[in-house]
């Protein structure tokens, strides 16, 4: 009798459902056509972009659809499952095509254009969108590797072995002196709050206390909670073509036993999981800075006298210092990083995040950095597809994002090698990918200081 009752209940439920739950013409889950219109921005005459690659990525399932724009700049998708999508557009243009398209030559062999729209809706009522392409800035110095995931918390070195590597991708000697490295700040979830966030969930910095520049606060600037600066007078720290510098959290050999600042031994059970950073070029030692603001030296902020200390350019507004007492990269992948140059760093303003309505002693402030000063940038992303965060960087700096597979798994994100060239002396040098699209430019693999993508 109980089984009969259950069967009847199921039948009742089925007949009570609406027709469109099972695929009628009104079902919003039925595939629909979708069109993406693509134009270059006003700097390039707002022309329609033909032969651009358009990728739709479903925010929930990760499914992708790819099309190429036609001669009129439209990418037509015949059958897309309704949902919320990230739309990424890329266009690589060689010098000859650039000259033909825009009527003037460029001084580089190729130009990359990128565009992105997060949280684009696709359904029977919304069947098109528009993307504007921006020219990607080509830099001589690149962020080559970001080791943020860390190694196993007990078998390895946890987060103590993190580092950033910067590479000279040009054919000239570049000097690291005065280069700034910014760790950016933004929302780590896509929830929209109309009081202080944009449509994609990212902070609407135009609503920060004291901000007066309107929407340009979001489009023309980024915001850093930590900024480091390479010391030097201008020519002290050369980076030769095809070479790089390492900025370590702690410039020590993490494979070997150590003693922390309390005198306690620090060991790793599996040295193969971590890295030797004793040959790093710089380390982010905050001990002296912490003491200068009345804070103790962090026990794991171990200084190696043989590795040059990097300068602490910004650790919060004076009197409103950041609570972090070491350079710690988010091992979940919710950071973005930029390298930039400016002669006016101290005059750059800082703002509280736009969710703050009243300044208090606990308020944090973030340094506003103009996009025009940025040489290179990379948006990292949470490894869990269900915990994605909105982008911090504009499409001209990074059209997408890159992530490791997990935290504490010894992985870094590292740039791909584009080509390897043979120099007149017979030696070889690698040219790395630089399309300002981190999903295209980077791969994830075991951290390897000064190493290259496999």
* Domain ranges, ordered by start, for the chain: 26-135, 141-446
Q: Tokens at residue 45, please?
A: 């005459």
Between CA 285 and CA 248 the distance in angstroms is 9
Radius of gyration for the chain, computed over Cα atoms and rounded to the nearest angstrom: 25
Rounded Cα gap, residues 430 and 451, in angstroms:
11
Cβ neighbour number for residue 101 with a 10 Å cutoff: 16
Strand 411-415: give its sheet, edge to edge: 308-309, 282-283, 244-248, 163-168, 141-147, 411-415, 442-446
Residue 37 has pLDDT above 80, yes or no: yes
Contact 351, 185 (CB under 8 A): no
* C-alpha to C-alpha distance for 127 and 33, rounded to whole angstroms: 6
What's the DSSP call for residue 123?
A: B
Quote the CA–CA distance of 454 and 449 in Å, as a whole number: 13
d(CA 57, CA 66): 9
| Cβ atoms within 10 Å, residue 288 | 11
- Which residue spans within 178-331 are E strands per DSSP? 180-184, 221-229, 238-239, 244-248, 258-259, 265-266, 282-283, 308-309, 311-314, 316-317, 320-321
CATH of domain 26-135: 2.60.40.10
Q: What is the arithmetic mean of pLDDT over 281-308?
A: 96
Residues facing 444 on adjacent strands: 413
Q: What is the pLDDT of residues 192-229, one digit of tens each?
A: 999 999 999 999 999 999 999 999 999 999 999 999 99
Q: Which of 15-19, 230-234, 284-288 has the lowest mean pLDDT?
A: 15-19
For 124-141, how does the pLDDT look when each residue is reduced to its tens digit (9 = 90+)?
Answer: 999 999 999 988 766 699
- Mean pLDDT throughout 20-38? 69
């Amino acid at each position: 009798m109980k089984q009969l009752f259950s069967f009847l209940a199921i039948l009742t439920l089925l007949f009570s459902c609406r027709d469109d739950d099972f695929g009628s013409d009104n079902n919003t889950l039925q595939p629909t056509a979708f069109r993406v219109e693509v134009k270059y921005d006003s700097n390039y005459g707002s022309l329609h972009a033909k032969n651009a690659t358009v990728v739709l990525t479903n925010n929930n399932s990760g499914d992708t659809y790819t099309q190429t724009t036609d001669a009129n700049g439209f990418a037509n998708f015949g059958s897309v499952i309704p949902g919320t999508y990230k739309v990424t557009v890329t266009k690589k243009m060689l010098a000859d095509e650039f000259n033909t398209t825009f009527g003037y030559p460029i001084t580089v062999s190729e130009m990359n254009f990128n565009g992105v729209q997060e949280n684009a809706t696709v359904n029977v009522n919304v069947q098109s969108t528009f993307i504007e392409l921006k020219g990607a800035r080509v830099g001589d110095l690149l962020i080559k590797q970001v080791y943020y995931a860390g190694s196993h918390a007990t078998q390895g070195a946890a987060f103590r072995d993190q580092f950033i590597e910067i590479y000279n991708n040009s054919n000239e000697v570049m000097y690291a002196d005065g280069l700034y490295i910014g760790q950016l700040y933004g929302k780590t979830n896509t929830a929209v709050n109309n009081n202080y966030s944009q449509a994609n969930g990212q902070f609407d910095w135009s609503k920060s206390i004291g901000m007066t520049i309107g929407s340009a606060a979001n489009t023309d600037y980024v915001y850093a909670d930590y900024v480091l600066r390479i010391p030097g007078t201008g020519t002290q720290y050369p980076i030769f073509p095809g070479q790089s510098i390492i900025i370590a959290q702690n410039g020590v050999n993490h494979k070997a036993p150590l003693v922390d600042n309390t005198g306690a031994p620090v060991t790793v059970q599996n040295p193969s999981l971590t890295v030797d950073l004793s040959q790093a070029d710089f380390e982010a030692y905050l001990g002296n800075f912490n003491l200068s603001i009345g804070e103790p030296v962090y026990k794991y902020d171990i200084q190696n006298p043989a590795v040059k200390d990097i300068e602490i350019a910004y650790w919060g507004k004076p009197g409103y210092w950041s609570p972090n007492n070491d350079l710690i990269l988010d091992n979940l992948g919710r950071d973005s990083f930029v390298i930039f140059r400016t002669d006016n760093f101290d005059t750059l303003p800082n703002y509280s995040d736009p969710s703050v309505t009243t300044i208090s002693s606990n308020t944090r402030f973030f340094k506003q950095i103009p996009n025009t000063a940025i040489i290179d940038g990379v948006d990292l992303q949470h490894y869990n597809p269900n915990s994605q965060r909105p982008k911090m960087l504009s499409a001209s700096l990074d059209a997408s994002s890159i992530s490791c597979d997990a935290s504490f798994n010894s992985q870094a994100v590292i740039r791909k090698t584009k080509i390897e060239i043979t120099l007149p002396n017979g030696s070889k040098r690698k040219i790395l990918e630089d399309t300002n699209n981190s999903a295209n430019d980077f791969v994830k693999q075991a951290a390897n200081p000064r190493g290259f993508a496999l």
